[in-house]
Amino acid sequence: MPELSSVLQRLGVQIGTKRIYSAGGARHGPGDTDPRHSSAPEWISSPPHRVPIESVVPGEVVSTPVGPCFVSESRFPLDHIHAGQPLSVLQAGEHASRHLVQLSGDERLGDLDLRSAIFFDIETTGLGIGAGMYAFLVGFGTFEDGEFCLRQYFMRDYGEEEALLYLLDAQMRRFDGWVSFNGRCFDLPVLQSRFVCGRREMPLAQAPHLDLLYPARKLWRKRLTSCRLSSLEAGVLGAPRLDDVPGWAIPDLYFDYVRYGQVEPLKPVFHHNALDILSLVALTARANALLGLPSSEEVEHTEDLYSLALVYDSLGETEEARQAYEAALARGLASNLQVEALRRLSALYKRTGRENRAAHIWRTLQKAGDIEAYLQLAIYHEHHLRDPRGAATLVGQALEMGIEALPKRGECSPESLKRRMRRLRKKLGEEGLPMPHIDSYSFGRISVGGRSYTADLLIVPGGVRPGWRRAKSHELCEEDLLEALESKPAVLVVGTGNMGRMSVPEATLSYLAQHGIRFEALPTAAACQRYNELAQKEQAAAALHLTC
């Protein structure tokens, strides 16, 4: 047993009575006392072979009434360049612009001098925010006395957390708000949970908070593949990080330090934390400036201009949104964004009573096969032009795209389009739905209304339904005609194939008679000719088999 105790002590494990740190970091044995720490809790000492953190990171161990905490302090003049800009880019007395306040969702930010906020970032022992999650390194950046002061509070062991919280508490009381990146959902809740566990009330817990993650997503997601802070540094600030420690590796580096005293790997962790905070200053100034630009010509990237249009649109500022949409489209966007921007602009035109301008965009999108454009043009024809027949033609053309090309839900789904067609048929009354015209037919190919098809199809009042399939390939059954009968035609012409091989059983003929539908079955070439004759004078349908 004595041998085991010796081994454990060499590994830094304390047996029996615990030892505590003095304010300067010296260890005290069980019989020693230190009046400065009479109220401090005891904790397990660090491994005896640990190299002091101050040997690799500039700083000092600061005494507090509840124990020591290591603090690294760096002061930067305001002309210090970070990410290509001086820290003075965030000007004295600068407040969040109206749009930045709206994007952040905290109206109090409008009254906050951004230089009176704490720019902060934390490094933790994991990714959760529960009671078992520690913030072992907390970086606070503040504007003080004409400088930017960066203080990094570090607990050398879990027992130093009380001192870390004590120092954070003292600094928080001197400032008015927060600036962070994803701090609203992660950093601040972690700090709050640590204050709760430490039985402390956290200052600034309810203070104004500018979390740059949300504005960044709105402003730069269209241009950048990611809105992580490192991506924004590279894509927005033009300052990519080189040889930076990955965030996922940081907790293990701290664990190795606590367990084995490996201090050198912590140096890049402090550097990582410092860069995060310095970048917050530059990113705040950049977002505020972009949202406050008076002219779209000053926006460098077209994608950012389109993002600004979306921001204005979401905030209900239609005139600013219209100008930004039009400017972005005039410059030219990537094809996917171009279509998206056209849709957004047409919707804005429609909301503001400029239907004719919207219709011009819808016709452009219609040529590209945009199903939403067909629907909007149909609504435009029916309600604005008072042309239900033209509306029915457009709905029919949309249905011609086939079930596979249409969304399963919403106003553009097959069911919704068919309901619209039935309503238009009632509105048209005796005039009836527009009848498609068969241009030509040859074995395996047919042209209807200028469009070619190479598979069996239905022709109904109002349009074509491509991809017609039968339960039995060369036999016409009742269920094969359900979609054709939905349009309530007066007569149905069946094309039985180029050589007439598709049969029509007596049961199918009886089914059609029960529904009061006249019926003619002919080889497909003759059926096409007969359909065109009937369609000139009544609502006709055709079910055409194109091959054998």
pLDDT over threshold 60, residue 46: no
Residue 170: how many other CB atoms lie within 10 Å: 11
pLDDT over threshold 80, residue 218: yes
How do residues 136-165 score in pLDDT, each as one tens digit? Answer: 999 999 999 999 999 999 999 999 999 999
pLDDT over threshold 60, residue 362: yes
The DSSP string of 427-493 is HHGGG-PPPP-EEEEETTEEEETTEEE-S-EEEETTEEEES---SBTTB--GGGGHHHHHT--SEEE
pLDDT of residue 3: 65
How do residues 264-298 score in pLDDT, each as one tens digit? Answer: 999 999 999 999 999 999 999 999 999 988 788 88
pLDDT over threshold 50, residue 351: yes
pLDDT over threshold 60, residue 49: no
Local structure of 5: helix, strand or coil? helix
pLDDT over threshold 80, residue 14: no
b/e sequence 97-125, b meaning 16+ C-beta within 10 Å: bebbbbbbebeebeebebbebbbbbbbbb
pLDDT over threshold 90, residue 40: no
Please state, rounded to an integer, the average pLDDT across all residues of the chain. 90
pLDDT of residue 140: 98
pLDDT of residue 109: 96
pLDDT of residue 127: 76
Of 475, 483, 541, 540, the C-alpha closest to 508 is 475
How do residues 100-113 score in pLDDT, each as one tens digit? Answer: 999 999 999 999 99
- The Cα angle at residue 459 between residues 471 and 488, in degrees rounded to 5: 85
Between 243 and 16, the more confident residue is 243
pLDDT over threshold 50, residue 30: no
pLDDT of residue 12: 52
pLDDT of residue 296: 82
Rounded average pLDDT over 354-374: 96
